[in-house]
């Protein structure tokens, strides 16, 4: 016989339960109707208390016990055992920090840098230690957007100390950072252009500026110099202008003069009959009257011809005056060209400086533009960082909206979204000791204590040192500008072949002085360089002047140079003052005196010859114009003479008619008129 299993009632039901409590906490916790009815029926009520019925069998007891967990679980809304969740969270954070945090941060920083610099950014070995608030990066490379195969900058190991208070506000405040090394303009293995972003066109190299030649007196050739300078002479253009004006004037008057001459000839022809008329042959008043009429018609025609000839003569006279002015200008151009050519062989006139200035200007402008361009790039990056702290455009593409939404900025009173307090780097490259400090770079510069600043200094064992301070104050939203100043000490310079055209190939020396730069975001920038070059030396002097200058430079021992460069709204201005001209003038005084007079005379002779042989013949229309002027003057005189003759004839005819009229009246008695 099978023994019935003994079942004990769950402790939850062992004690008497108050009726109200039983209804609310026990029956109320059950939601299946038949379970509820079963539990209600299994407990009997005594004096307001519920106890389990004594006659419940094992099956019933088992069923009641199965309901106990639901009754317990369904009580209240809160439980006190969230350890599982905490455990899951801890495990999740551990997994995240071990496998996902560093790669995600690396990608995020790369994306941010690419947004700021517009070119590929690469980070190696990022390691974030959240409990120590430290971040380390093994290497960082940011490509130059304008030269994708070159890095804008590259750094060695970077270490950052983060501000915990800012981090708890979701901000990145790097209190201090250090870089093992920093290098600019290093070559890249692969292109640093961002996908889908066009590489900006490479700026065309500036053409070498034209400069007047420095004459080698020892091998002076006036004809060759004239040939070389012909394209710059003003007299050629003046002659060309005169020739054109004469051609146009001749063409303008030629037809009219011809027509006027023909009209004169017609008038003369038609007047012949009138002028040859014999007065004695006129016997009647009718004949006299007809002759008078013919004469008046001839006078009228002669007057018209005379008026046209006068008008033409007046017009040609006006043109002749203008052409005369052009001739004067041509003569002035000749004189100017003669002076210019003579100046080339006269070093006292500043020709040496005029020859040197374009080369110096090009070289210094290129350098200034390079440094000013770096300043603009740094300023641009800082401004992009500043812009990243602002609101995202509400009209951003819908895809990114759906994915990430929009971030609405609220004013920060303590911490910028990103702030770099100080980045310091000291390193040595090829015997040069570098020290770099970057201060206060922030996405919200208004919250920074001071302006953004970059301090770079470099020194060598031989005493060469450069200290460079670049400062950009972006705290005012109205004006974005930077200023920079570099102090230079014993900077070795070698201009290579930059001055070779003026006979000073391989100019070198040791420069000391200062360079100041300033610029604004709109592109306006200015620079000033004040340098003294000591121990100047020309490695390969050429020509008599080059040799003389080379000796003078050695003798003088120093060259001073003060250059100012300014770019406002695309208009570049450059000014340069140095003692080079004085050195050259002193060096050439004796040399030039023996050559300059003879060279000047030869040059003027060559110029006159050139004008006579090549230019004067170019004004072919001058003679034609003069002939037209003379012809129209002759026509005017002839027409005046004809008119005078006709006037006399008319007077005679009128007298004849008068006489005929008087004789006809004699013997005729007039009727009496009266009452």
Q: At 270, give phi and psi (nearest 5°).
A: -75, -20
Exactly one of 24, 44, 58, 69 binds other proteins (CB under 8 A); which one? Answer: 69
Q: Is the dihedral of CA 47, 49, 50, 51 positive or negative?
A: negative
In the bound state with other proteins, the residue whose beta carbon lies nearer, of 60 and 275, is: 60
Stretch that binds other proteins, among 400-408, 418-426, 556-564, 603-611 (CB under 8 A): 400-408
Exactly one of 2, 8, 55, 170 binds other proteins (CB under 8 A); which one? Answer: 170
Minimum CB–partner distance for residue 66 and other proteins (Å)? 7
CA pair distance 271, 297, nearest whole angstrom: 9
- Using rule CB under 8 A, residue 24 touches other proteins: no
Contact 139, 153 (CB under 8 A): no
Minimum CB–partner distance for residue 522 and other proteins (Å)? 32
- Using rule CB under 8 A, residue 70 touches other proteins: yes
Tokens in use for 512? 């000391």
Exactly one of 98, 408, 449, 461 binds other proteins (CB under 8 A); which one? Answer: 408
Exactly one of 20, 41, 58, 73 binds other proteins (CB under 8 A); which one? Answer: 73
Q: Is the dihedral of CA 245, 251, 253, 254 positive or negative?
A: positive
Minimum CB–partner distance for residue 73 and other proteins (Å)? 7
Tell me how many degrees the CA angle 462-466-472 measures, rounded to the nearest 5. Answer: 170
- Using rule CB under 8 A, residue 428 touches other proteins: no
Considering only the C-alpha atoms of the chain, give the largest distance between any 2 of them, rounded to a whole number of Å.
203
- Using rule CB under 8 A, residue 78 touches other proteins: yes
In the bound state with other proteins, the residue whose beta carbon lies nearer, of 413 and 665, is: 413
Q: Among candidates 20, 666, 664, 673, which has minimal Cα distance to 284? A: 664
Tokens in use for 105? 């941060």
**Residue numbers 365-394 binding other proteins by CB under 8 A:** 394
Exactly one of 17, 22, 26, 30 binds other proteins (CB under 8 A); which one? Answer: 30
- Using rule CB under 8 A, residue 35 touches other proteins: yes
- Using rule CB under 8 A, residue 398 touches other proteins: yes
Stretch that binds other proteins, among 78-86, 123-131, 193-201, 546-554 (CB under 8 A): 78-86
CA pair distance 385, 83, nearest whole angstrom: 43
Size of the site for other proteins (CB under 8 A): 45
Exactly one of 134, 169, 540, 573 binds other proteins (CB under 8 A); which one? Answer: 169
- Using rule CB under 8 A, residue 54 touches other proteins: no
Query: Which of helix, strand or coil describes residue 536?
Result: strand
Minimum CB–partner distance for residue 446 and other proteins (Å)? 14
- Using rule CB under 8 A, residue 171 touches other proteins: yes
- Using rule CB under 8 A, residue 411 touches other proteins: yes
Which residue shows structure tokens 């053409």? Answer: 207
CA pair distance 302, 639, nearest whole angstrom: 6
- Using rule CB under 8 A, residue 407 touches other proteins: yes
- Using rule CB under 8 A, residue 38 touches other proteins: no
- Using rule CB under 8 A, residue 412 touches other proteins: yes
- Using rule CB under 8 A, residue 79 touches other proteins: yes
Tell me how many degrees the CA angle 598-603-608 measures, rounded to the nearest 5. Answer: 130
Exactly one of 1, 77, 668, 670 binds other proteins (CB under 8 A); which one? Answer: 77
In the bound state with other proteins, the residue whose beta carbon lies nearer, of 403 and 461, is: 403
Q: Among candidates 454, 453, 455, 457, which has minimal Cα distance to 428? A: 457
- Using rule CB under 8 A, residue 223 touches other proteins: no
Which residue shows structure tokens 């911490």? Answer: 415
Instruction: Find the length of the chain.
Output: 675
Concatenating the DSSP letter of every residue in 623-639 gives HHHHHHHHHHHHHHHHH
Exactly one of 20, 41, 58, 89 binds other proteins (CB under 8 A); which one? Answer: 89
Minimum CB–partner distance for residue 74 and other proteins (Å)? 4
Contact 320, 312 (CB under 8 A): no
- Using rule CB under 8 A, residue 91 touches other proteins: no
Specify the DSSP class assigned to residue 12.
G
Exactly one of 196, 405, 569, 667 binds other proteins (CB under 8 A); which one? Answer: 405
Concatenating the DSSP letter of every residue in 483-510 gives EEEEEEEEEEEE-TTTTGGGTEEEEEEE
Exactly one of 54, 205, 413, 449 binds other proteins (CB under 8 A); which one? Answer: 413
Q: At 420, give phi and psi (nearest 5°).
A: -105, 110
- Using rule CB under 8 A, residue 397 touches other proteins: no
Other CB atoms within 10 A of residue 464 CB:
17
- Using rule CB under 8 A, residue 82 touches other proteins: yes
Concatenating the DSSP letter of every residue in 25-74 gives IIITT--SHHHHHHHHHHEEEETTEEEE-TT--HHHHHHHHHHHHHHHHT
Tokens in use for 528? 């000033």
Tokens in use for 172? 């990145």
- Using rule CB under 8 A, residue 410 touches other proteins: yes
Minimum CB–partner distance for residue 56 and other proteins (Å)? 19
Stretch that binds other proteins, among 28-36, 288-296, 478-486, 633-641 (CB under 8 A): 28-36
Contact 133, 164 (CB under 8 A): yes
Minimum CB–partner distance for residue 395 and other proteins (Å)? 12
Concatenating the DSSP letter of every residue in 648-665 gives HHHHHHHHHHHHHHHHHH
Minimum CB–partner distance for residue 84 and other proteins (Å)? 7
In the bound state with other proteins, the residue whose beta carbon lies nearer, of 96 and 284, is: 96
Query: Which of helix, strand or coil describes residue 540?
Result: strand
- Using rule CB under 8 A, residue 66 touches other proteins: yes
Contact 192, 119 (CB under 8 A): yes
The stretches of 473-579 forming alpha helices (DSSP H) are 543-556
Q: At 471, give phi and psi (nearest 5°).
A: -130, 130
- Using rule CB under 8 A, residue 58 touches other proteins: no
Stretch that binds other proteins, among 27-35, 110-118, 434-442, 501-509 (CB under 8 A): 27-35
Stretch that binds other proteins, among 50-58, 80-88, 174-182, 520-528 (CB under 8 A): 80-88
Contact 485, 515 (CB under 8 A): yes
In the bound state with other proteins, the residue whose beta carbon lies nearer, of 399 and 672, is: 399
Stretch that binds other proteins, among 144-152, 271-279, 397-405, 568-576 (CB under 8 A): 397-405
Exactly one of 165, 259, 262, 429 binds other proteins (CB under 8 A); which one? Answer: 165
Residues contacting 242, CB < 8 A, separation 6+? 323, 326, 327, 329, 330, 619
Stretch that binds other proteins, among 133-141, 402-410, 543-551, 574-582 (CB under 8 A): 402-410
Minimum CB–partner distance for residue 95 and other proteins (Å)? 14
Per the DSSP assignment, residues forming a β-bridge with 453 are: 439, 471
Minimum CB–partner distance for residue 521 and other proteins (Å)? 28
CA pair distance 582, 561, nearest whole angstrom: 12
Exactly one of 4, 168, 430, 590 binds other proteins (CB under 8 A); which one? Answer: 168
Tokens in use for 136? 């380390």
- Using rule CB under 8 A, residue 85 touches other proteins: yes
Residues in contact with other proteins by CB under 8 A are: 29-35, 66-67, 69-71, 73-74, 76-80, 82, 84-86, 89, 165, 168-171, 394, 398, 401-414
């Amino acid at each position: 016989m099978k023994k019935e299993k003994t079942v004990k009632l769950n402790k939850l039901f062992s004690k008497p339960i108050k009726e109200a409590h039983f209804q609310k906490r026990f029956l109320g916790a059950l939601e299946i109707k038949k379970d509820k009815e079963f539990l209600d029926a299994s407990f009997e009520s005594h004096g307001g208390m519920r106890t389990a019925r004594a006659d419940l069998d094992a099956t019933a007891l088992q069923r009641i016990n199965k309901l106990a967990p639901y009754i317990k679980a369904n009580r209240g809304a809160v439980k006190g055992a969230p350890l599982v969740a905490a455990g899951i969270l801890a495990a999740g954070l551990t997994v995240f920090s071990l496998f996902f945090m560093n790669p995600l941060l690396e990608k995020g920083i790369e994306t941010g840098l690419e947004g700021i610099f517009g070119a590929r950014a690469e980070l190696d070995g990022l390691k974030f230690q959240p409990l120590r608030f430290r971040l380390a990066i093994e290497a960082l490379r940011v490509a130059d957007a304008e030269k994708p195969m070159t890095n804008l900058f590259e750094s060695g190991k970077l270490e950052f100390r983060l501000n915990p208070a800012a981090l708890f506000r979701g901000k990145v405040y790097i209190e201090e950072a250090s870089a093992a090394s920093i290098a600019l303009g290093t070559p890249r293995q692969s292109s640093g252009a961002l996908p889908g972003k066009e590489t900006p066109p490479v700026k065309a190299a500036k053409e070498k500026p034209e400069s007047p030649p420095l004459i080698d007196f020892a091998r002076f050739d006036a004809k060759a110099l004239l040939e070389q300078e012909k394209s710059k002479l003003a007299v050629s253009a003046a002659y060309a202008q005169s020739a054109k004006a004469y051609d146009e004037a001749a063409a303008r008057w030629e037809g009219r003069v011809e027509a006027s001459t023909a009209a004169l000839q017609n008038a003369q022809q038609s007047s012949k009959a009138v002028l040859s008329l014999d007065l004695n042959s006129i016997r009647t008043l009718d004949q006299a009257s007809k002759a008078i009429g013919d004469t008046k018609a001839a006078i009228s025609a002669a007057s018209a011809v005379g008026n046209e000839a006068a008008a033409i003569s007046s017009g040609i006279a006006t043109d002749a005056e203008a052409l005369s002015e052009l001739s004067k200008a041509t003569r002035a151009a000749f004189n100017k060209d003669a002076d210019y050519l003579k100046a080339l062989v006269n070093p006292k006139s500043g020709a040496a400086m005029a020859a040197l200035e374009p080369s110096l200007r090009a070289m210094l402008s290129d350098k200034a533009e390079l440094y000013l361009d770096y300043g603009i790039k740094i300023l641009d990056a800082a401004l992009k960082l500043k812009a990243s702290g602002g609101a995202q455009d509400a009209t951003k593409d819908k895809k990114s909206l759906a994915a990430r939404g929009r971030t609405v900025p609220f004013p920060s009173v303590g911490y910028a979204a990103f702030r770099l307090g100080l980045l310091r780097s000291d390193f040595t490259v090829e015997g040069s000791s570098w020290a770099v400090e970057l201060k206060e770079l922030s996405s919200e510069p208004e919250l920074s204590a001071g302006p953004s600043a970059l301090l770079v200094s470099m020194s060598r064992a031989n005493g060469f040192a450069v200290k460079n301070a670049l400062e950009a104050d972006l705290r005012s939203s109205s004006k974005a500008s930077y200023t920079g100043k570099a102090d230079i000490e014993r900077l070795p310079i070698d201009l290579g072949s930059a001055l070779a055209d003026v006979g000073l190939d391989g100019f070198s020396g040791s420069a000391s002085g200062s360079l100041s730069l300033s610029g604004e975001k709109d592109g306006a920038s200015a620079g000033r360089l004040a340098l003294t070059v000591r121990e100047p030396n020309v490695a390969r002097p050429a020509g008599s002047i080059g040799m003389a200058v080379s000796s003078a430079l050695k003798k003088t021992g120093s060259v001073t140079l003060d250059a100012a460069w300014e770019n406002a709204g695309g208009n570049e201005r450059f000014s340069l003052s140095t003692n080079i001209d004085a050195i050259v003038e002193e060096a050439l005084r004796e040399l030039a005196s023996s050559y300059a007079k003879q060279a000047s005379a030869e040059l003027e002779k060559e110029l006159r010859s050139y004008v006579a042989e090549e230019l004067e013949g170019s004004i072919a229309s001058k003679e034609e114009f003069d002939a037209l002027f003379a012809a129209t003057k002759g026509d005017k005189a002839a027409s005046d003479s004809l008119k005078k003759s006709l006037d006399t004839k008319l007077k005679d005819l009128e007298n004849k008619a008068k006489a005929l009229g008087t004789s006809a009246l004699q013997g005729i008695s007039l009727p009496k008129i009266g009452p």
